[in-house]
Amino acid sequence: MKKIIVVLALILLVLLFRLFKDDIMAFNQQTEKQDYIDAPDRVVLRSIPSDVWYQTVYLIADQLTWMDYKNFTVQVGDMGNDVYNFPDWYHGKYDPALYREDINNDTLEDIIIVLNNDLAGIGKPNRDIHILNQIHDPYRRYEEAPVEPIESTINSNVKIDKHDNIVTILIDKKKYYINISKYNYGNPRDPYINIESIEYAIKNGKLFGTIDVSVVRDESYFEGIIGHLNIEYFWDGEMYKPKSIVFQEESTNSMN
């Protein structure tokens, strides 16, 4: 009796499979097709060419949308066997920056990447910098090196205040005085350092950051810029930190 029940069950399963075979196959094909459609494109965002095949640098990422990129890879050389993966890096719209230059005075060229962080939020830097220090021990490799967060740099080294029309900026022991009445800003007030505006650049083998110093004004949604903080970084063996911070006043000829 049990054998008869088993046989009947098998026959029923075969009949059901034949009945719904086309639907099952169509579902599997649709699932595979959808998985293919949903797979992000792997794109080269930036590259640094070289006549020497093992010195070319590629910045590669998954393109999630027309303006969102994640899951980064830095590939050094054309053979694809010297790669460094950074799945948590994010980049938004506009072009990233990619440099290959010695910025820590060890004669070895490092790799510097600056990405746009459109998801940072209000009061957070809109640029993310990533530095891969080149190391020989004895073979060449790269290791990500930390950079002091710009919020920590400003909080530890810069003070800003206002009395009447005079804004005072104190950097270490140096004071800068700015008369904001000379700018054509409606009711300028509440000076602040705009963390969101940070920009990074490499000049003469050194890493620099530039950040706006601004006031709130009435006639515009945009800030009223009164100057910039120029930050020069150095490598202390563990982290890239500010070596010097200098205030540069905005010319009245370039007012917004």
Per-residue pLDDT of 218-254, as tens digits, reads 977 788 999 999 999 999 999 999 999 999 999 887 5
Instruction: Give the domain ranges of the chain.
Output: 41-145, 150-254
- Is the pLDDT at 24 greater than 90? The verdict is no
Report how far residue 67's alpha carbon sits from residue 92's, in angstroms, rounded to the nearest whole number.
Answer: 5
123: left (phi > 0), else alpha (psi -120 to 50), else beta? left
Question: How confident is residue 33, by pLDDT bands cut at 50, 70 and 90?
Answer: very low
Report how far residue 246's alpha carbon sits from residue 228's, in angstroms, rounded to the nearest whole number.
Answer: 8
Tell me if 144 sits within 8 A of 130, measured CB to CB.
yes
Instruction: Identify the helix (H) or strand (E) that includes residue 208.
Output: strand 206-216
Q: What is the pLDDT of residues 76-135, one digit of tens each?
A: 999 988 999 999 999 998 999 999 999 999 999 999 999 999 888 888 999 999 999 999
Q: What is the pLDDT of residues 175-202, one digit of tens each?
A: 999 999 999 999 999 999 999 999 999 9
Tell me if 204 sits within 8 A of 233, measured CB to CB.
no
| Joined tokens for residue 255 | 């007012």
